[in-house]
Amino acid sequence: MNQSKLDLSRFPQASLRDGPSPIQHLRRLSRELGGPDIYVKRDDLDGLGGGGNKLRKLEFLIGEAQTSGADTIITVGGRQSNHARLTAAAAARVGLKCELVLSRLVPIEDEDYMNNGNVLLDALFGAVIHDIPGNVSGLDFAEERAAKLRSQGSRVYVCPLGGSSPVGCLGYAACAAEIDEQSAKQGISFDRIVVANGSGGMQAGLVSGTIAMGKDPAAIVGYTVLAPVEKALATTFEKTQKALELLNPDLSVHADTVAIRGEQLGSGYGLPTEAMREALSLAATQEGLLLDPVYSGKAFAGLIHEIRTGVLTPEDKALFVMSGGTPSLFAYRRALS
């Protein structure tokens, strides 16, 4: 990261990642689709806990937890939450106790979904798992559990869904600076940067970081995989505002700066679509890349659609932020076979 462009040193950070993730050119897939040159930012490659984008957020969240003197971290998510898995792994790395509140948000309850994939790793990392119904507020449960632990003398840090607090968003502000530096070194200017939008923190961080560097975030487009597009826009805009306040309170963001599309959501969060299945297959057979069925698979399907419909031309260059989530493939064995 170029500290002269974006200085995050005043925010506490834990060291959880292996350094800048590489940007790779997908030559075969670019030729197969006959569209722009496609590149990927490999945020799936970090070694800790199976890798994935949540580690960027967790560097700042764990840093804040340690600074506050916490000995326990509690977070929330769906049964196959990538964020929960990586929170458990990060807690193990730094010596914090970890509890996960996992809601049954997806109407899939076969053996693979309930006990394989991320949730298998959650237990392996030593986390205490609370399995709650989908109609119960995970965050309310977490706060109640934190209050009980505090009454017993524990010092508890509660982390929100997806780690997407303003502090968590700083991880992707740092990523924006990383992309800016790498693209300058490689002599590439990206016409589109595509991300999956779940809890909104990844896109909010990229947009706020780009603005804080004095650059235009118009190339950044998110595909919602969790909420209807109107709700995703409102949530991500609010998080972008709050992250930007941390970075530079003198700057502001307009609502229309946040671009989110809803065409790939399908029937809802965590539910497979044919476009997602095709995206997984193309990435795997053309490049040996493993997208996940919940986040990157649907967002990459959006990028493919933009290419096929001519929104992106052969002269363009597109960057896909590959956010990880590979362990969830094993939870979706039946849906993908």
How close are the terminal C-alpha atoms of the chain, in Å?
A: 41
Torsion sign over Cα 81, 85, 86, 91: positive
DSSP 178-231: HHHHHHHHHT---SEEEEEESSSHHHHHHHHHHHHTT---TTEEEEESSS-HHH
Q: For residue 89, how many C-alpha atoms fall within 13 Å in the half-sphere facing its CB?
A: 24
Beta-bridged to residue 100, according to DSSP, are 75, 129
Residue among 105, 85, 267 at smallest CA distance from 162: 85
Number of Cβ atoms within 10 Å of the Cβ of 200: 28
- Rounded Cα distance between 323 and 312, Å, is 22
The residue type at 58: L
CA torsion sign for 273, 133, 231, 156 is: negative
Q: Which residues are known catalytic residues? A: 81
